[in-house]
Every structure is written in structure tokens, then in C-alpha cells.
Amino acid sequence: MGLLGKLLNVVTTLNAALPQSKTNGASQLGLVSAPVLPNFMTNNPLPNGYPWGSDTVTNTNPYRNSPNTGVTRYYTFNVSRGVLSPDGYQKQMILVNGAYPGPTIEANWGDTIQVTVQNNIQSPAEGTAIHWHGFLQHNSQWMDGVPAFSQCPIAPGKTFTYSFKAELYGTSWYHAHYSAQYSDGVQGAMVIYGPKNRDYDIDLGPVMLSDLYHVPYLQTVNYTVMGGPPRPPPNITSDNNLINGKMDFNCSTVAPGDKTPCVSNAGMSEFKFTTGKVRKLMS
């Protein structure tokens, strides 16, 4: 899809037809009121003015000598089914704490992150496991969150507590690693504050880019493996593309007979820039 495709996007209004609670639940991402992020967390010791002391981008090999702050960041994830309309088309989702995207995990370089995951996926029940993408998991390989490799799935109704160190810093994400569950919503950003290699004024936070499938993920998996109409496998077609879980959709384009509730122009993500300031996106 090239320039022509891009120019075919015709947007006539920025007025969101659905409230954030209907498109993204408890998530505040994509709103101009979403909180900007700090340079680092300060409710902790600050030796030499920084949580990680005198370590810098260029003086420390993080694979061998990451700092140890002694601080643990605690999170609780309630993973459960929910109904949201990220692009206006109502979708059966699986959510972390009722938010899509899920809550952003924040920590300083050298902190330990501890996440208690409660699997409340019911009707129907299924397992889950959460992968913390990009973490080294030195001496904690079993905390990597891959069912059938590093652990058994967290059974429905059960709880598992992950604990691992932030040996690297920067931007990452977590997601369910159980089948393609994360494409139904179990995903969120992770921001590990660390030393900078370039100054900026404002950190606008994570910008998550994700395709969206209106059908439940098991249907997507089925199409992928068996080939979905009308294409030969292995090929699936997404219904939309989202920025921080939001994008407009034209409900007049749904398949004939599709009675799923759908609201056009549900609302797009918005980001605030301040003239003359340098902003970091992404984290």
C-alpha cells in the first residue's frame, strides 16, 4: 500500500463518536490527557542523583554489569474477558485490568519487577502466560512467560507471580504468549528508565502499533493454519490498524448480515506537541 493508499484515507471529523471507556476501557493511552513520563522514578534512593548511580550508556556493559537498586516494583494483573470497541466495532477481548492496551509497567534500570498474574479468563476458561519481551532473565529463565517452554500455562482461576530484574533499559512490551491470545488484547508497554544518549524535553510515552482482527483470535489462528476465505494460506487479513489501540472504522463496510454493534468514527489517538520542545515518543 503506497502513497496512493495513504491519500485515500479521508477523515472528515476528529470528534470521537465513542468515549474512551467504550473503545479502550481503563486505558488512558491515546488521549491528550495521558500522563507524560518522567526521566526516572524518584521514590527510591538516588546515588549520584540517579537511581542507577554513576552508570551511563557508554561506561557500563549492561549484559554483565547492570546496576542493582534493591527496589522492587509491584504490579497485579487481572486477566479476564471483556467487551470493547477499539475501532468502533464491538469485539470480544481478553484484557489486563480492563484496559486495552494494558497498563504500562514502569521501573528504573536495576529494579526488580514483580507481577502477580491472576488468570480470570472464564466462559470459556483458558490458560495464559505473560512474556516480558526483551528481558535477559539471567538466572530467572523460568520467569520468561512462555507456556510449554519455560512454564506450564497459568490455569484458569489460578495465580502466578513473575519476578525478574530490569537488566536492560529502554522500551519494551509484555504480551500473553498463550497461542495468539495477545491479539485479543493481552498486551501493554514496559518502560525501563535509564541513562540517556540524547536529551529531550518531554517523554510522550508509549506508541503501540497493532493490527486488529474483529473475529476472536482462535478464528484468526484457524484462518492462518487452514486458510481463510478467500485467500490461500498462510495469510490472514486484518480489519484495521491501530495506534495505541485506537482508529476510526467505517461501519458501512462490514459484511452483509453482520449485526455486530458498530459505531463509525469511534476516535483516533491524539498527541500534544509544544512548539520549540523536543519530545520522545515511545516511551
Partner 1 sequence: VINSAADATQQFSIDGHILTIIANDFVPIVPYNTTVLTLGIGQRSDIIVTANYTSNSTFWMRSNITCSTSLNPNALAVVMYDKASTSAVPTSIPQAYTPGCNNDPLASTVPAYPINPGTPATTQTINITVAQNSTGSWLWYMNGSSFRSDYNDPTLLLAKAGNTSYPYSPQFNIYNTGTNSSYRFIVNNLTPAPHPLHFHGHNMFVLAVGSGTWDGKTIVNPNNPQRRDVQLVPPFGYMVWQANAGESSYNHSTTTTAN
Q: Which residue, 14 or 45, has its beta carbon nearer to partner 1? A: 14
Site string for partner 1, 53-92 (x = CB under 8 A): ----xx-xxxx-----------------------------
Q: Write 28-32 long-range contacts (CB < 8 A, 24+).
A: 29/101, 29/104, 29/189, 29/205, 29/206, 29/208, 29/244, 29/245, 29/269, 30/243, 30/244, 30/245, 30/246, 30/268, 30/269, 30/270, 31/269, 31/270, 32/270, 32/271, 32/272
Minimum distance of partner 1 from residue 174's CB (angstroms): 10
Pairing of strands 72-84, 91-96: antiparallel
Distance of CA 261 to the CA centre of its chain: 25
Q: Which of residues 4-33 bind partner 1 (CB under 8 A)?
A: 5-7, 9, 11-15, 30, 32
CB under 8 A: which stretch of 36-44, 46-54, 75-83, 232-240 binds partner 1? 232-240
Q: Which of residues 36-55 bind partner 1 (CB under 8 A)?
A: none
Cα separation, 190 vs 167, whole angstroms: 13
Site string for partner 1, 117-156 (x = CB under 8 A): ----------x---x-xxxxxx--xx-x-xxxxxxxx---
Q: Which residue, 10 or 43, has its beta carbon nearer to partner 1? A: 10
Pairing of strands 112-120, 102-108: unpaired
Site string for partner 1, 99-118 (x = CB under 8 A): --x-----------------
Cα separation, 87 vs 103, whole angstroms: 19
Among 17, 26, 218, 243, indicate the residue that binds partner 1 (CB under 8 A): 243
Among 26, 120, 221, 264, indicate the residue that binds partner 1 (CB under 8 A): 221
